[in-house]
Structure 1
Amino acid sequence: MTELCFAEFAKCLQSGIQPPNDDKDVVGLLLSWITDMPGVADKKGNPVNIAPSLVSDLLKRKVDVPKAIKNACTTKKVVTEAIKHCTANVIPYLNPILSDDMFEAMGKAVEADTIIAIKKKKELTALLKNGKEAEFLGQMLIYIINRENRVSNSSIVSDDIPLLAEADYECPLCHAPLVDYVKNTPVKKYEVIKIYPDDISAVVSEFDPIPKPKKIDAPGNRIVLCRDHAEEYMVEPTAEDYFRLREIKDRLSSTYSLRVDINDATLEDEIQNVLYGLAGITDDTELEELSLDALRLDQKILPENRLLKNDETTRVLRYYNFIDNLFSAMDRDGTGDFDLIASEIEVAYKKLDTGQLSQDEIVEQLAEWIKNKSGVGNRNMRACHIVVAYFIQNCEVFREIPK
């Protein structure tokens, strides 16, 4: 036993107990008496099912012990019940030849753990030393149920990178970042799940009407989620959750394909002059605002996109003339070609205008593309949005709404 967590405890017990001692037998032995308690239920009010997929994920440390079980293991009373359970259902079935090795491994894990409180460490060590093995196992079981079981700060697997890029490195359900950095090293804060689960025996009625994919391991059936949402889905998948994830996956795949496509479009380096010009505006810069009479956004942004219209209107009125003067100056002194840049913006827009993205999403993708192509960095993202607004007004982006 190398660490105080549910998976290591279960594996260690497995090594010292008589058959049947398969994974499902051991995990069931440790948890089923808790799931049988009144009031221990999943988010839908149903009993917690220790399905084969949950057993596998617990032992692989992909998920934590379900919250419903954790919540039932926070009182002194449940510690007493755990000791009774171990006395009646574990101790009598230990392998007398290997049990000493098992207890020694558990004791060493307690001694080596740097997180456990000193008081708790002394208590567990004393129980083992004094031969109170059932009490030791009962207290250990409740303790490790309350500990984190999922592996934290593990390295990113290269096979996951396309799925991370598809999700833009954030959980599509809650937008939490999926990658963190510890001492400049990227570590995973996500799990890759199968939208159509591997094992659906526990929820077969829910998934009966859903056709099983030809290749359940294919990228089209896999999605990255933050650990909390991944665990929730893997433990308690429902048909409703499936259809929601399926729709999100299809949208992510389509959007990612468009991003890859637009990145093939070229953009003149001279666009940097405009972006840095915008970034250099100060309180002393005189800005000649565009007349409201010249505004064309009413004709191009759908009425339901009120917030987008407000943002683009502000950008156009305040900065259109400033950008126009920068482009004119570039044309005059030969440092840039406005017509070429405008045509490249229009090509990029047309690649995105496939009917799959909303106007908001098209604006975001164009701004991101301008930032990436120009190499100006995230600090100039606002300038990239202002340039997109300019080209909306100038008719390279969005078409006039049919009357």
Structure 2
Amino acid sequence: MSEFNISAYIKTMQRGLAEDNKQEAAGRLLLNSVAQQSCVLVDVDGKMVTNLVKRNADVHEAIKTAAARRDVIATAIKYFEDEVDSKLNVHTIDDACEDLIKLLENDKSVAASKKQSLEALCRAGEINKFLAMSFLYAISRPNKQIAVPVDGDDIPLLAEAGYECPICHTSLVKQVKNTVMKKYRIVNVYPEDITGLEDEFNNIAVPRRIDSQGNKIILCEKHAEEYLVEPTKEEYQKLKAIKDQMVANYSLRVDVNDMTLEDDIQTVLDGLMSDFDESELVELSMDALRIDQKIKPENHMLKNDEITRVLKYYNYINDLFSSMDRDGTGDFDLIASEVNTAYKKLDNGRLTQEEIVDQLAEWIRNKSQVGSKFLRACHIVVAYFIQNCEVFREISE
């Protein structure tokens, strides 16, 4: 659900202003329609605007209380006519007004009569009055985002997205004391309501069930709000492609994580994490290096990382595996076979080489049940198996 509040109003109006269209300036311009009236006199500074836009605070109580007074309402409307109108962008204000109407329409907590009365002002051409009255209404609405614990039912979608927004990769959760809190919203990829967007979504197949998990995607609050306000065909197609890719990748991760990996790999990870003198490591000869034959030229950063890991640690890991074979404490051939099988499952043409490396490292970490501090060691082990030919085929000329 899209929310109509002062944060959304300020951000939307920035697009409709030619002057004072930066966040702080726009916030000051709009809030001063009430804040600077003689019965209020609240100073609007940059910190106040930032907190409102980020939804870290509600509107100042004096402003909110005054906004319900008839005399304040009349003065605010006059302010919009005298002060705001001259700063409107004649080319984009209509778009901003439409976005405000969509915000109202999409917020199910807004009364139908309120939606109708505000939209009627806009449709009648009373733009300044529409902007003033919708602004005063936004002031009265809750704005501060209340921290809400993660709902257990959301975990499959969070896991599918890797707990980060698939668009901007920001974290979708935050830890507050001992509770994991939401930083996300779940939206329908194919919009729940396309009223007014019928032409935009013409020739796009409607899912059999709009409310199915297959039509839901989890996004950060910013990108969820942007999509909900006015979804376009292009945005839908982009989001649909992201969803399809996430579903495929998640299914692949689940499939790979179901595979076994010998517990003996823990010995190698412990060896890499132990306190040893790295200056005594015998580096692999450049003549023996096979990384150049395995990693595509365009993945030059990955290639550099893997070359560094192989040159420095290959011989050391090889000695650890050889020692395990001699002592009967491990079976290198079995571990190598398991790594190769995991790689083949991941090498389905959908993942990049970097994604395959990351997935293999995460798989090794999960199977060995070690903490996140071991992830670097897991990446070093993956590099070893790239050099040893269990991971990646030789690039054909």
Q: Assess same fold via TM > 0.5.
A: yes
Distance in 2 separating the partners of 1:249 and 1:383: 31
Counterpart position of 1:338? 332
1:67 corresponds to? 11
- Give the CA deviation at 1:349: 1.0
2:336 and 2:190 mapped to 1: Cα distance?
45
Change (3 A) 1:182 1:77: closer
Q: Given the superposition, is the C-alpha separation of residues 302 and 148 from structure 1 closer, same or farther in structure 2, using an over 3 Å criterion?
A: farther
Are 1:58 and 1:65, in contact at CA under 8 Å, matched by a contact in 2?
no
Structure 1 counterpart SS, 2:199? helix
Q: 1:318 aligns with which of 292, 312, 323?
A: 312
Residues 292-317 of structure 1: per-residue CA shift (max 9 Å, x gap): 11111122212222111111111111
Q: Distance in 1 between matches of 2:345 and 2:31?
A: 64
Structure 1 residues 234 and 120, CA, compared in 2 at 3 Å: closer, same or farther?
A: closer
Q: How far apart, CA to CA, are the structure 2 residues paired with 1:162 and 1:227?
A: 18
Q: Is the 8 A contact 1:275 1:380 kept in 2?
A: yes
Indicate the RMSD between aligned Cα atoms, in angstroms.
3.0
Question: Structure 1-normalised TM-score?
Answer: 0.70
Question: Which residue of 2 is the match for residue 289 of structure 1?
Answer: 283
CA distance in 2, matches of 1:124, 1:77: 12
CA distance in 1, matches of 2:284, 2:180: 46
Residue 390 of structure 1 and its aligned partner are, at CA, apart by 0.2
Distance (whole Å) between structure 1 residues aligned to residue 265 and residue 246 of structure 2:
29
- Give structure 2 stretches of 5+ with no counterpart: 17-25, 38-56, 78-131
CA gap of 1:116–1:244, structure 2 versus 1, over 3 A, is closer
User: What corresponds to 1:103 in structure 2?
Assistant: none
Does 1:174 find its partner at 2:168?
Answer: yes
Task: Give the Cα–Cα distance (whole angstroms) in 2 for the partners of residues 78 and 211 of structure 1.
Answer: 47
- Contact 2:187 2:228 survives alignment (8 Å): yes
Question: For residue 30 of structure 1, what is the aligned residue in structure 2?
Answer: none
Structure 2 distance, partners of 1:155, 1:351, is 35
1:191-340 pair list within 5 angstroms: 191-283=185-277, 285-340=279-334
Task: Provide the residue aligned with 2:2 in structure 1.
Answer: 57
Whole-Å separation in 2 of the counterparts to 1:327 and 1:124: 75
Question: Which residue number corresponds to residue 79 of structure 1?
Answer: 33
Q: Distance in 2 between matches of 1:151 and 1:77?
A: 20
Q: How far 1:164 sits from its partner (Å)?
A: 0.6
**1:385 and 1:262 mapped to 2: Cα distance?**
17
Alignment partners' CA distance in 1, 2:30 and 2:370: 59
Q: Distance in 2 between matches of 1:310 and 1:76?
A: 52
5 Å-filtered alignment, 1:38-53, equals: none
Q: 1:285 to 1:77 in 2, by over 3 A?
A: closer
Residue pair 1:70, 1:145 contacting (<8 A) in 2 also? no
What does the per-residue CA deviation read over 1:112-171, in whole Å, with 9 as the maximum and x for residues that have no partner?
Answer: xx96546547x739x86xx85856998996466267637431122222111110000000
Rounded to whole Å, the distance in 1 between the matches of 2:31 and 2:260 is 68
- TM-score, normalised with respect to structure 2: 0.70
Distance 2:241 2:364 in 1: 28
The one-character-per-residue Cα deviations of 1:278-329 (angstroms, maximum 9, x if unpaired) are: 1125455511000111111122212222111111111111100000001111
1:387 to 381, 384, 396: 381
Q: Could you tell me how far 1:353 is from its partner in structure 2?
A: 1.3
User: Structure 2 CA distance, aligned partners of 1:365 and 1:309?
Assistant: 16
Counterparts in 2 of 1:66 and 1:57: CA distance versus 1, 3 Å: farther
Partners of 1:143 and 1:231 in 2: CA distance = 21
Gaps of 5+ in 1: 1-55, 84-113
Check the 8 A contact 2:33/2:76 in 1, yes or no: no
Amino acid at match of 1:359: Q
Please tell me whether the aligned partners of residues 79 and 142 of structure 1 are also in contact (alpha carbons under 8 angstroms): no
Give the Cα separation in 2 of the matches to 1:77 and 1:306. 51
Secondary structure class of the residue paired with 2:210: coil
CA contact (8 A) 2:184 2:220 kept: yes
Judging changes above 3 Å, is the alpha-carbon distance between structure 1 residues 136 and 58 closer, same or farther for their aligned structure 2 residues? farther
